Structure 1
Amino acid sequence: MSCTNPTCFFCIMKEPNLLIRRAGIKKCFKEIPSINEQERVLILSSLWNIAMTQPEDPEFPSLGIFKCMVSLLHKSINDKPWLLDGQNVYIPYYAAHIVGSYTMNRFEFAEKAVESGVILPLLDLMRGKMSWLEQRVAVRALGHLASYDSTFEAVAVYEEEVVKLAMGLASSCGEVVYNEFVALKDENKRVEYHKNLITRGAGGLEMENRKAEEWASQIQCWSLHLLNCFAIRGRSIDLICNKEFLKDLSSMWGGYVNHTSPAGVGMIRILCYTRVGRTRVSESKEVIESICNLSRSSDDWQYMGIDCLLLLLHDLNTRYKVLEIVSFYLFDLVELRKLGERSKLGQKITRALLIDFKNRKSRIKNPEVERRLKEIWVSKVDRNRREILMSDEKLEEKRVLVSLIKQAANHSFWLGEIETAVVKYTEGIKLCPTRLRKERIVLHSNRAQCYLLLNNPDAAISDTTRALSISNPANSHAKSLWRRSQAYYIKGMAKESLMDCLMFIKAFVTADKKKHAKIPYYAVHMIRKLMDSTWFFASAKSKLSNNCTSNLDASSSSDPGRSKEELTNDELLIRRAINENKHLMSGLYTILEEPVIRKVSQATRRKVYRYRRRKNTSMARSI
C-alpha cells in the first residue's frame, strides 16, 4: 500500500534526491515529539538500529538528531502521563542509546551532543528517574562523552555527583537487577517493556535471565569506564578511594570490551599510579590479598595484578605496609618470563622485592619475610652465578641425578608414602639446575599433587604457580593448572579455580593432536560446580536468600506453633534452595605427571639402589 503521509520518515529515507531527503529528515526530527506515539516508537527503533550499525555516519548528527533525542528525554522524564501513554515508555531507552552510539567513536559528534544539552537528561536517567534499564544506556553515553578532552569538562561540571552515581551503580547493579527482575520467577511480575527490550520479543525466561545478566555486567563495566575517565585525569581520586568501594572493586570480574578499563583491577591500577591511591589501597588487607590472588592466577588480567603490586613495592611509603603479604605471593612468580606482550616480569618482580635487601638500614623486621627474600637472592643471584660456570658434563650429571631422585619420589608416592615423596621431590628441586626447566616443572607439579593429598592447598598453589611460571608459554602446563584449580576449590576460591579449570581444558585440547579431543569428565564436573559460585548474581542471590531466611526465622520465633506442613510453598522452596547451595566438597581428582607404573622394573630398582648407596657414601665422607 502506498503511504499517504507526506512527512513519513520511512518514505523520506527512500527519497533519491539528496537535498529533499536531508530537508525531510531535518523536519522529521523537529516533528517527532508531536507525532503519533506508535509511529514515533517505530521511528526511534529504526534510528536506534541505524545508530548501532552506522555510528560514524555524519548525516543524522548534522541534521539535529541530538536535539530531537534531548527533547524526547526531557518529555519522558518530566511528563509521566505522556510516558505511560501507549508505547512511549520505550522512548527514553532508545533515545539515550542513540546518543551513546553516535558519540562512541567520534569526538565531533560528542561535541554536537553536548551543545544540544544531552548531559542533564542523561544525568536524570542515571539518578534513577526511571529504571536500571535506562541507567544502563545513560551511563554508557556519559562514559563516551567523558572520554574526550573536548567534552570531558562538560561532564565534570557535575563531577562529584557523577562519580558517586557511577560508584553506586558499579557496586549495586547486580543486586538491583537480580532483585527487580531475575528473582521474579513469575513472568507476569516482570516489567513488560523490560522483557521486550531485553529479548526483542524472542525467548522465554531463560533467555531473559541470560540477557539480564549480560546487561547488568555492562552497567558495571560502563560505570567503571566512566570512573576511569575521571581517575586517569587525576580527578576525584580521594572520592573513588572509599574503603568499601575499593573492596567492591577488588571483586569485580570482567571488563570493558576495548581493555581501557579491565574490571575492578584496571581501576585499582589507575589509582595506584597516584600517591593517594597507593596509600588507600595499601591500607586494605582484603584488597591487597585480592590483587595477590589475581597475580597468581591464569586470569587475563594477571599482569594487572602484578603491576599494582610492583607500584606499591616501589613506593617507600607503601612498601613496608604490603611487603609481608606481597612477598609470599610474588615469591612464586620470580621466574615468570613473559605474559602476553610483557617480558622479563620475573626480573622486575625480583628487583622490586630485593630493592633494599642488602641495605643495613632496611626496615624489614619480619624474619619470615627476610627468609623469603634471602631465598630469592640465593636462587636468582648466587645460584645463577654458579650455574653460568657449570659445564655441559656437570649439567648432564645433575640431570641424571635429578631423574633418579624423581623416580624414587614417584615410587614412594605409589606406595602411599606421601610425606616421603614430598621430601624427595624437595631434594630434587634443590639439586635441579635452573636451566633444566622441564624437569623442574615436573618436580614442582608432582610435589603439588602430594600437598593436595596431604590437604595443604596453600603449598599446592605455591608449587603449581612456580611450575606455571616456568612453563613456556606461561600458564600452559595442563596438569599444574588442574592441580591448582583443585587447590583453589578446596580454599573456596571459586573464581580462581574456574579460570584454571578453563585454562586446563584449553591446554588439554591444544595438546591433544586429535581433531575431536574429548574434554575430561572431571573438568566438566568441576566447571558445573563452580558456575553457580561465580555467577554474576551469586552475591545478590545469597543476600536475598539470607534476608528470606532471617524473615522466616523471625516469623517462626513469633509463631513457634507453626509446623513444617504449615509453611507456604514459597518458604519451602527458599529453604530447599538454601540447602542445595551449601558448599560441599567431593573427592579430589588425581592426574599423574607420568604414566602409572604398577610394577617397578628391575632396572629402576637398581638405579634407586645405586643412588641411595652413592648418597650414603657421600654423607659418610662429609661426616
Structure 2
Amino acid sequence: MDSLKKKGKMTPIFNSPKTSYTNKMVMEQICLDPCCFFCMMKEVDPSLRRAGIAACFKEMPLIGDDQQHVLVLSSLWNIAMAQPDDPEFPSLGIFDCMTSFLEKGINDRGWLLRDQNIYIPYYAAHVIGSYTMNKVEFAEKVVLAGVIPPLMELLRGNMSWVEQRVAVRALGHLASYERSFEAVAAHEEEVVRLTMHLASTCLKEVYAKFVGVKDKSKRSKYHCDLLTRGVGGSEMEDRMAEEWASQLQCWSLYLLNCFACKERSLNLICKQEFLVDLCGMWGGLVNHSSPAGVGLIRILCYSKYGRQSISDSKEVLKNLCHLSRSSDDWQYMGIDCLLLLLKDPDTRYKVIEIATMFLIDLVELKSLGDRSSLGDTITKTLLLGYKQSKFRIKNSQVIKALQETWELKIKRKKREKIMSEEKVEDRRVLVNLIKHQANHMFWLRDVEAAIKRYTEALDACPLKLRKERMVLYSKRAQCYLLLKDPDAAIRDSTRALCLSNPTNSHGKSLWRRSQAYDMKGLAKESLMDCIMFINGSINSETNKRVKIPYYATRMISKQMDATWLFANAQSKATINYQTKVLQESDEDYEISSNEDYLQGCDEMMRMMMEKKSIASGEHLLDSIS
C-alpha cells in the first residue's frame, strides 16, 4: 500500500463547510448528466426515481473513470449509516453495485490508483456493513450478490488496515445471522485464523503504519482524509486512528464470537497463546461499549472445550480474578466466567484454589447491574460439596477461606437471624466504641494494634449493619496500605465496596483500592477505581466549580500512560526503532516523541471522561490540563 500514497488524487470531496463551493460546482456539472445519481434522487415521480436509481446502480461500476464515483459512494455511505433498515436501495441493486466496485478495486490496481478510486473499496464495504447490521433479509441479498470473496480479499490485507476494519465489520454482521452464517463459514478456517491474527496484531499495525509516524507528511493521505472527513489536523487523526484501531480489534472479536457461540473452530480459538492475548484486549475507554477480550472468553466458558482450555491457563484465570474484583463495567463477566468454571466438575478443582481467594471477597454482594443476590450465588458455588471439597484441596489458605465463608454466610447468618433489635443496637454501640479505640491507635501510628481492634469490631458487628461494616473494612484497608500489604488492602476495600449502596460507590474504598492496585502494578484496575472515585467526588459536590484532588489526577495520568491503547505497540516499536538506528541511518518513519505521546494521553483523558459521562466534565478537564 505504500505505493498508493504516491499515486492518484487522494482528496475526496467531503460534505464539510470547506467544500461547499466545490460541491455546488460538482452538482452543476452532474446535472448535465442524464444518468446522474443525484438528479435521480431529486426526481419527484416515485416510479421514475426508482427506475433511475436502479439504472445508476447497474451502470456505475461499468464506467471506467468517473471522478464523481467517490462523491456518490460517500453519499450512499451516509444514507446507509442514517437509514440502515430502509429497504429502498437494497431492492434496487445497491449490493450488486457495491460488490462490483469491491471486485474492481481488488482486481484492477491501475483503476484503483486513478483519480479518487482509492476510497471506493472502503465506502463500498462500509455500505455493505451498515445495511446488514439489523436485517437478515439484507444479509441474504448481500450473500447472493457475491460479496464474500472480495470481502475475504480485504480481510487478507489486500489493501490496508482501514479496509480490513470495514471488511471484518461486514463479515461479522453476515456471520451473526443463521441464514447467512454458512456463507461465511465456507471459509471458516481461514476466516478464524485471519481474524485471530488481526485481533492480536492490529494495534501494532496501526501504530507502526500511522499513529507512530512522527513525520505527518509520511502518513497515508487517503487514510488521513477518511479518518477526519477532510476536517481536522494531526490531533484529530490520532484520536480517530485510536478509535478505529479499537473498533478493528473489537469487530474482529465479534466475528470470532459468531463462531464460538456455535462451538465452531474452538480448537483454533482456544489456543493458549491467543487466550492470553484476549486478556489484554480491552474495549477500554476508547470503545467502552464493547466487552472485547473478556466477552469472547465468557462465550468460550459456556462450552466444555472452552472451559477445559481456559482452566489450563493460569494467566487467563488470574486476569479473570482481577476483573472480578474491579469496578470495570465488565466485572460481572469475570465473575460469570469463574462461576462457570467452578460449576463444571471437570474444571472445578483446577481453578478453585485461585478463584476462591478472590471470590470470597464478593460473597456479600447484593446486586451488580441487573444481577440480584449475586453474593449468594457466589457462596453456593464456592461451597458446593463443601465437606468433600476439604479433602481434595491441598492449599491450607483456601480451606481456611472456605471455612470463613461457611461461618460468615451460613452459621453466623443463622445465629443473627434470631437476634433482637435491642441486641443489635447494643452491638452497634459496642462496635462504635471499639472503632473509636482503633481510630485513636491509628492516629498514634500503632497501625498493627489498630488492625486488631478493627478486626474485633468486625467480628462483633451484626451482618445487617452493612454501612458500619463497610466503614470498618475500609479503615482496615487503609492500615494495610500503610503496612505496604496491597493484597490485604485490596481484599478489605473490595469487601467494603460490596457492602456499599450502590455497589462500588464508596469513595474512600475506591481510592484505597486504586492505590493498592497501583502498588501491584495493575494499571487498568487502578485506573478504573480512580475514575469511579473522581466520578463519585464530582456527583457529591453541590458547587458548580469542582476541585479534583491533585493526587487523583496524578494517579490517572500515571495509569493512562500504562493503559494507553498503543502502550505495548509503542514500547515494542521504540525497541525496534532503537535497534534499527544502530544499523541504518535512514528510516521509513520515526516513533513519536515523548511529548507527542503525552499530548495523546491528554486527549485520551478527555475522551475517557466524556465516555464515562462524568458530570461537570469541563471543570474536571480544566483541573487536569
TM over 0.5: yes
How many residue pairs get aligned? The number is 570
Deviates further, 45-54 or 508-517: 508-517
Structure 2 CA distance for partners of 1:459 and 1:13, relative to 1, 3 Å: same
In the alignment, does 2:528 pair up with 1:499?
yes
Name the SS for the 1:254 alignment partner: coil
In the alignment, does 2:60 pair up with 1:32?
yes
1:143 is aligned to 172
Q: Tell me if structure 2 keeps the 8 A contact 1:221–1:256.
A: no
Q: Tell me if structure 1 keeps the 8 A contact 2:577–2:591.
A: no
Distance 1:573 1:180 in 2: 12
Distance 1:383 1:304 in 2: 29
Q: Tell me if structure 1 keeps the 8 A contact 2:327–2:504.
A: yes
In the alignment, does 2:496 pair up with 1:467?
yes
Match of 1:8 among 12, 36, 40: 36
In the alignment, does 2:312 pair up with 1:305?
no
Name the SS for the 2:67 alignment partner: helix
Max Rg structure: 1
In the alignment, does 2:550 pair up with 1:521?
yes
1:116 is aligned to 145
2:365 is aligned to 336
Q: How does 1:544-559 map to 2 (within 5 A)?
A: 544-551=573-580
> 1:361, CA displacement in angstroms?
8.0
Q: Tell me if structure 1 keeps the 8 A contact 2:458–2:469.
A: yes
> 1:154, CA displacement in angstroms?
0.7
In the alignment, does 2:51 pair up with 1:23?
yes
2:508 is aligned to 479
Structure 2 CA distance for partners of 1:56 and 1:360, relative to 1, 3 Å: closer
Q: Tell me if structure 2 keeps the 8 A contact 1:132–1:177.
A: yes
In the alignment, does 2:368 pair up with 1:368?
no
Poorly superposed stretches of 4+, deviation over 3 Å: 255-261, 513-517, 549-552, 570-581
Q: How does 1:203-214 map to 2 (within 5 A)?
A: 203-214=232-243
Residue ranges of structure 1 left out of the alignment (5+ in a row): 557-565, 582-623
Q: Tell me if structure 1 keeps the 8 A contact 2:213–2:592.
A: no
Name the SS for the 2:530 alignment partner: helix
Q: How does 1:199-598 map to 2 (within 5 A)?
A: 199-254=228-283, 262-359=291-388, 362-551=391-580
Structure 2 CA distance for partners of 1:221 and 1:374, relative to 1, 3 Å: same
Structure 2 CA distance for partners of 1:470 and 1:190, relative to 1, 3 Å: same
> 1:538, CA displacement in angstroms?
0.7
Structure 2 CA distance for partners of 1:577 and 1:212, relative to 1, 3 Å: closer
Name the SS for the 2:388 alignment partner: coil
2:182 is aligned to 153
Q: Tell me if structure 1 keeps the 8 A contact 2:574–2:591.
A: no
Report Cα offsets for 1:316-339 as digits up to 9, x if no partner.
111111111101100100111100
Question: Higher relative CO (CA 8 A, sep ≥ 6), structure 1 or 2?
Answer: 2
Match of 1:46 among 75, 83, 98: 75
Distance 2:596 2:131 in 1: 45
Q: Tell me if structure 2 keeps the 8 A contact 1:256–1:262.
A: no
Match of 2:110 among 71, 81, 92: 81
Distance 1:397 1:440 in 2: 15
1:171 is aligned to 200
In the alignment, does 2:161 pair up with 1:132?
yes
> 2:33 corresponds to which letter in structure 1?
N
Structure 2 CA distance for partners of 1:492 and 1:412, relative to 1, 3 Å: same
TM-score by length of 2: 0.87
Structure 2 CA distance for partners of 1:580 and 1:184, relative to 1, 3 Å: closer
Q: Tell me if structure 2 keeps the 8 A contact 1:73–1:92.
A: yes
Distance 1:422 1:361 in 2: 29
Q: Tell me if structure 1 keeps the 8 A contact 2:214–2:591.
A: no
Report Cα offsets for 1:414-443 as digits up to 9, x if no partner.
111112211211121122111111111111
Distance 2:45 2:285 in 1: 41
> 1:517, CA displacement in angstroms?
3.5
In the alignment, does 2:217 pair up with 1:188?
yes
Report Cα offsets for 1:444-485 as digits up to 9, x if no partner.
101111111111111110000000011111101111001111
Distance 1:492 1:278 in 2: 28
Q: Tell me if structure 1 keeps the 8 A contact 2:131–2:138.
A: yes
Distance 2:553 2:222 in 1: 37
Structure 2 CA distance for partners of 1:352 and 1:254, relative to 1, 3 Å: same
Distance 1:206 1:574 in 2: 14
> 1:506, CA displacement in angstroms?
1.6
Q: Matched residues, percent identical?
A: 62
TM-score by length of 1: 0.88
Structure 2 CA distance for partners of 1:148 and 1:374, relative to 1, 3 Å: same
> 2:237 corresponds to which letter in structure 1?
E
CA RMSD of aligned residues (A): 2.5
Distance 1:465 1:168 in 2: 36
Q: Tell me if structure 2 keeps the 8 A contact 1:142–1:155.
A: yes
